[in-house]
Structure formats: structure tokens, C-alpha cells
Chains A and B, each alone.
Chain A
Amino acid sequence: MTSAAATRLPRRRRPGWVDSFLLAVRIAAIVLLIWGIAGTVVKGINGEGPTGEAWRDLVVAGIAQGAMYGLIALGYSMVYGVLGFINFAHGEVFMSGGMVGFFVANYLWDIRFWDTNFVLSILLVLASSILASTLVAVIVERVAYRPLRDAPRLIPLITSIGISFFLQYTFAGLFGVAVKNYPPPPDYLRARIGFLDLEIEGTKLAVIVVAVVTMVALYLFVEKTRTGRSIRAVAEDKEIAALMGINVDRTIVATFAVGGAMAGVAGTLWALLFRGVSFITGFLPGIKAFTAAVLGGIGNLGGAMAGGVLLGLFEGVGPQLVLAGFGIPGVSQLKDVVAFTALVLVLIFKPSGLFGERLAAEDRA
């Protein structure tokens, strides 16, 4: 909290060595970035490195993966906006959707319905995935977080880590630890589809389109519906919202449910992209989605989606674009390094994230 005196007498602090160091880091980061990209461009001019089509594939794959991170990130961001804590179990909410979707998909494959009626099949899988994720999110809220509503912020945070492990190993115990492979999507979806003069793989295009539609639907829900208004009001100030006649508990449940539904959609998209799910599937995407939420400015829905897409792009394109320029071998192994370095760099330049401005939760934390 800023004291009244300090507010009245704003004094300009003389830059210390830490500021100089941070400035040097920023300059070094920009120089290294330009150097790496220049190296890659020179390689490209010499006919080495990925072709134009390969760059297109990297960008598309990055956006598709990023859109999925974005969808998961929405759940982190909404819960943070409303309750002011990070729900680390959200990755497992996503995994539950993917896992339940697998059993439905596998059944439809066994009865040969998947082959003959793919669109209806994937809608059924999507519905079951959304249902499972929403249910898990709501149950976790009711059982684990509601009793801790008035506890210090750290308590639900630690609880969420516990819930995360609980869910992982519950699924491992119930369904085994092996990766479960979804049946393959039909050939027309796996083929390349012409889109704006670009030949894009059908599944990736589908993933991007579904993510955009879901995002728009969420925006309309939050902005235009009564429940959406309640969520925004509770995010602004729980006590005042309660005084205005909003049922805070119900609104919080709605927040978890909507976040869970988004994760359920992401679960099905994951299945379309990678086909394999296991009990540990939620862990890394969960961490990445949290990163995306922070990158975009946590608490901001548009920021979460943009952060997700950017993070997907960073890790998809970054290794080839920047690291390959330095002649580092096996660059694609370093994609996580690139993703998290990008996060650090963004936070060095803009500590509140790309779109983070005001956060009611921050004041309360």
C-alpha cells in the first residue's frame, strides 16, 4: 500500500545498480533475439533451414497449440479474477475431459459409428468432455475450495496442488497409466485444406476455428448475460456484489463451471491434435496455460487467449527462428526453454503481462 505522504510527494528515485542490470538484460535480450533471427535469415538465404511451407506449418501448429493453451488459460484467469488464487488443479480438469472423451470416442469407434458419422461422433465426444470437465471443476470447488473461502490466499493455492495430484492419481488408479489413443479422425480432416491461399492441415484449422468460436461465445456470455454480469461484479468486489443481491456462491460455481467447460473443449481439441491422453496429460499444458494467463495479464480473458496463442507461437516457431540462428543442434528439444524465457522477457518489459492493467483481486490479495 502506498502511503498518503508518498502519494503527495512523488520523489524520483535515482537509478541503482539493479536498474542498470535490468536495462543491460533488456538490451542483451533484444541483441540476442535480433542476432538469432538474423542468423536464421542468413541460413534461409543460403538455402538452409526450413522451407516456406515448413514455416507455415510451424506457425499454424503454434497457433493451434496456443489456442488450446488459451482455452485452458481462461479457467485460470477467471478463477483468479474472481477468487484471487491460482487453481493449479485446472490442468487436471482439462485432462478429465480428454480422458472421459476417450472412452466415448473408443466406444463409438468400436460400434463403427466414428467412421460413418464423424461429425456427430465428435460432437458427442465434445459434449461428454465438457460435461466431465465442468462436473470435476464444480465438485472440486464445492468440496475443496468453498470451505477455504475466508482462509488466507496461500491455503487454497496449496490445496489446489494437492487436488491436482489427487485427480491425476485417481485417474491413473481407475484407468491405468498407459496413454490412451483416440481413434483417428477421418481422412478429409487430416488432409490439407485450402484456407486464404494457405494449405493448412484440416485438424489444425478445425482446432483454431473451434477455439475462436468458443472464445467469442465466452465473451458474449460474460458481457451479455445476467450470469456473466454477476461474475464481473463478484470479480470487482464480492461484498458489494452480495449487497447488490448477487448470490456470490452461485456465481463462483458458475465461474468454475464456465472455466471447466472451456477446459473440456480444450480436452477434445487436444484429442484432435495429439490423439493420446493419459493421467499426466494435464500437467504440462496446465503449467503452460498458467504461463499463458500470466503472459497475457492474469484476470484478463482476452489476455489469456492472446497469451496462449503467443506462447504456442513462441514455442512452435521460437526454437527454429532464434536458436537455430546460433547453430545450436537439436533446437526443438529446447522449446520449453524458449517458451519460459519468452515469459521472463515479457515480464521484464511489462511486469503486469501484455494486457494486464487493473486487477481488483490484486488489491485484495
Chain B
Amino acid sequence: MRRVGLVSLCLFLVAVGCGEDQMQAGPDDPPSATSAVDPVENGGAAPEGSEFVPGPLGAVEVAPGEEIQIRSVNSITGDVASLGTPNQRGVELALDDYGPVAGRAVSMGTPLDDLCSPDGGQAAAQTVVADPAVVGVIGTTCSAAAVAAAPLISNAGMVMIAPSNTSPALTSDLAGTQGSAYQPGYYRTSHNDLFQGRAVALFVRNHLGFERAAAIHDGDPYTQGLTEAFRAAFEELGGEITTFTAVNKGDTDMIAVLTEVAAGGPQALFFPIFMPEGGFIVQQVGGVAGLEDATLIVSAALLVDNFMELSESEGVYISGPDLRFGSNRNSITGRTAEGLLAEYVASYGEEPSGGYWGHAYDATVMLLSAIDRVAVEVEGTLYIDRMALRNEMDRSSLDGIIGPISCDEYGDCGSQRITVLYNTDPRNIEIGKNNVVFDFAP
């Protein structure tokens, strides 16, 4: 009896599944002079008189008069808001600049928060995938959130373009091996931390001439991936990692971990973690015997105002993406880097508090232009084939605010240029943000 019930339930679910497919866009849809035979192959460009056929991931149907839906999932509350808020604003500015896509307005909906954590990323992704009208997501801010969000978004057939995820696990090891957290449909305009790890190692070993360094992460995929990349590169360059350890997120007392680090007598300490733990480390390191003269290096997670303004962050090196955008211009919207920054300040009344606003802008333009190319209109209804969109993203090539953008097989699309900044004056952090002391290009 129970088996019969289960079979009936399965049949019912299959029937409902088919029904949904047909509702999105099915082979029964009326033929149209402007529709594509197979959007997966043809990227939306169809011979005349042929019939629209959705690809294996289905298609989003935008009824006449409706908006195209995308979503922003970034860290917009808490200490990491300094990093995530400029990302969200980058999305907003790109939407304004780009204008309508395939004749339709684009809506970002209510901004979602990834909380810079796996549970936050998962909760936001669940909200996103609950709405089948969503085409793609710009986010997340943090790799930890992306690891949890990407599987849900990928399974829903959507695309996800991250402006500031950098963990190698999310894409690849750059040698053709897929990262452990890679999901189809995942792209990013930010760099891969294997490059950043190598850049910091070169900086410490060759530029500063140090032989001994220590590294601290916080168990997060981003911080762990970056410190491991640093360790591998530093040891390859003949350096010695004296201590490789971790703090807990939420720790305030760093004396114990710093004492553990001091025991190895490192000349440099690399701790690419977030606020507030990163702040606690710089505040307490001066009180630990053996580390008074150690050179401190952090990453772009701390390229944020509330860290750089701490008086103890004077003299700290900050590695991160090359933000010297110079005369870069987004080839699709025509917006220059300088113009975008001016627009940002004019719209929000402040300088960006984190470094990835340009990455978010380019990510959004990249998504919108790909939608523009694959969208097919049939009798007033717009169809956006999900598989075709992924294929189009794979083929994307544009000049962005951040430099040339084109994606590799595993979604690494950004410019991989890395710089190291030197924070000289916590009371005027704009000086530090532009004070490049080392740069790296793969």
C-alpha cells in the first residue's frame, strides 16, 4: 500500500515537473519568426521561421511588460559591510548605466545579505532560487558564503558572478584541476588567490628579503585558501613558514595565538582575515614579546576603512587586486573608471569603503550583455535560455573597469593583477589606498 502511495507521489511530482517546464518555455510554444531553433547552440540568434526550443536547463519567461530579474547577494550588514556595500552599489550603478536589456527594464529586487558566512550564503541563495524568474546573481562577497550558495544557484540553472570571491576552491588550481567547490554557472571577476598567495610570497621573500614568515587564517575557505597558497609559494621560493595556525571567528583575545606565532621568530606575519579579528591582531601584536618588529601583512579583506583607520594599522601592508584602474573604460557601457568613481561618490556621498566596486560593476555589465545576446522574443514574451546564457558567459570578452575580462574553463574571468599597498596614515587612509609598493602580474 505504502509502495503504491510512493509510486503515485513520484508520478505526481514528475507530472508537476513537466508542467513547470512547459510553463517556463516548452516545445509547444507557438513558433515565431524571431525565435531560435536551439538557443543553446545559437546563443539566441535564430534563422527566421524556426521554433523556440528551450535548452536542458529550461528558460526564463518574461511576460510582456515585466522586468528581467537579477539579484545582488553581498555582505551588507556587520563588520564586512565595508567590503560588501560597495559591491552592491557597483551593481546598482551598472544597472543604471546599462539601461534596458532586450527592451526590458532590469530589476535587482531587494538586496540580499550573504552575512559573509556559509549559513548566510545558503539562506540568501534559497531566497533567490525560490523565484524562478531570476536569471542570475551578482555575489557573493565572501567565498565562505559562495561555497554554500553556489550549489543551490547552479542547480537552479542560474548563473552567479562573484565580484570579490577569491578562494581557489571555487574555480580551479589554475593548472586544469577543478576546485572542490566549483559549480557550473559560477563566474567571478575577482582574482584567484593562487595569484595573490604567490604575489605576497614574492613580496615577502624577494622584495622585503625575509626568510621566515608565519600565517594565520580563520578556517574560512577564503582565508585558508589564501594562506595555503602563500605557504606553498613562499616555501617554493626557499622561505620557511615558522607557524601556520588559525584563530576562531569571534575570538577577541589574540595573545595566545600571537605567542604561538612568536615562538617561531617570524620576520613577517601574514593574516588575510576579516574584521573584527584582524583588528584585534594588530591591536594586540605590539604587546607580544618577539613580534614587536614583525612586519604585518593583510589582504583585501582588510582593505576596508574600519581596519585602515585603526591607529595600529599604520605600517601594515595590504595585498589585494590592482585597483589602479587609470584610464580603463568599460567597453560596453563606455563608462570610465574615473567617471564611475565620481558617479559613486555623487550617488552615495562617500568614497567606496571596500575595493571591489569596479569588479561588481563589470560583473553586472557582463551578465546584462550576455542576457542581451541570448534573449529571444516570441510574440511579446522574452525567453532567456539558461544553458545558452552560461555558454554566452563562457564566451564573454570585454574590457572592463578592472581591465580585460574573459573567462577560463572554470569561471575565473578577472584581471589577475595584484598589488601590495602600504598604510602610512590611519587618519588619512586615502593615501594608503593609493600607496602601491609592489605589483604582480601573472
* Chain A residues within CB distance 8 Å of chain B: 48-51, 53-54, 56-58, 61, 65, 177-179, 181, 183-184, 190, 201, 203-204, 273-276, 278, 280-281, 284, 315-316, 319-320, 324, 329-333, 335-336
6 A-B pairs within 8 Å (CB atoms) are namely: A51-B289, A57-B259, A179-B275, A284-B250, A332-B260, A333-B245
* A178/B78 in contact, CB under 8 A: yes
- Does A58 contact B255, Cβ atoms closer than 8 Å? yes
User: Which B-chain residue is minimally distant from A281 (CB atoms)?
Assistant: B252
The closest CB in chain A to the CB of B288 belongs to: A57
The residue on A at minimum CB distance from B252 is A274
From residue B85, how far is it (CB to closest CB) to chain A in Å? 11
Q: Is B246 an interface residue (CB 8 A)?
A: yes
* B287 near A331: Cβ-Cβ < 8 Å: no
B259 touches A58 (CB 8 A): yes
Residue contact B280 to A48, C-beta cutoff 8 Å? no
- Given the complex, which residues of A lie within 8 Å of B311, measured CB to CB? 183-184
Interfacial chain B residues near A324, Cβ < 8 Å: 260
B259 touching A320, Cβ below 8 Å = yes
Q: When chains A and B are docked, how far (Å) is the Cα of A275 from the Cα of B276? A: 11
Give the shortest distance, in Å, between B225 (CB) and chain A (any CB): 16
Cβ-based interface call for B145 (8 A): no
B: residues with CB less than 8 A from A are 77-79, 81, 244-248, 250, 252-253, 255-257, 259-260, 262-263, 275-276, 279-280, 283-284, 286-290, 306, 310-312
CB distance from A155 to the nearest CB of B (A): 30
Residues of B within 8 A of A177 (CB): 77-79
- Asked whether, in the complex, the Cβ of B263 is within 8 Å of the Cβ of A49, the reply is yes
- With A and B bound together, what is the CA distance between A51 and B276 in angstroms? 28
Interface class of chain A by DSSP? helix
Contact pick for A184, options B78, B252, B306, B312, CB 8 Å: B312
Known A-B contacts A49-B263, A316-B255; A57 and B250 likewise in contact (beta carbons under 8 Å): no
Cα–Cα, bound, A278→B250 (Å): 11
Smallest distance from the beta carbon of A240 to chain B beta carbons, Å?
44
Find B263's partner among A51, A274, A278 (CB 8 Å cutoff).
A51
Q: Which residue of A lies closest to B276 (CB)?
A: A179
Asked whether A61 and B255 contact (CB < 8 A) given A50-B263, A179-B279, the answer is yes
**Of listed B78, B247, B260, B284, residue having the most chain A CB within 10 A:** B260
Q: Select which of B244, B257, B306 is within 8 A of A181 by beta carbon.
A: B306
A51, A178, A201, A284: the one within 8 Å of B81 (CB): A178
> How near does chain A come to B243, taking the closest CB pair, in angstroms?
9
Q: Are B256 and A58 in contact (CB under 8 A)?
A: yes
Starting from the known contacts A49-B263, A181-B306, 8 additional A-B residue pairs (CB-CB under 8 Å) come to A51-B262, A51-B290, A56-B289, A178-B79, A179-B279, A273-B253, A320-B259, A330-B244
A332 touches B245 (CB 8 A): yes
- Cβ–Cβ contact A57 & B81, under 8 A: no
Distance of A336 Cα from B253 Cα, bound (Å)? 11
A329 proximity list for chain B (CB < 8 A): 244-245
Complex contact B255–A333 (CB within 8 A): no
Q: Which of A54, A281, A319 sits near B288, CB closer than 8 Å?
A: A54
Q: How far, in whole Å, are A336 and B248 apart by their CA atoms in the complex?
A: 10
How many Å lie between the Cα of A274 and that of B284 in the bound state? 8
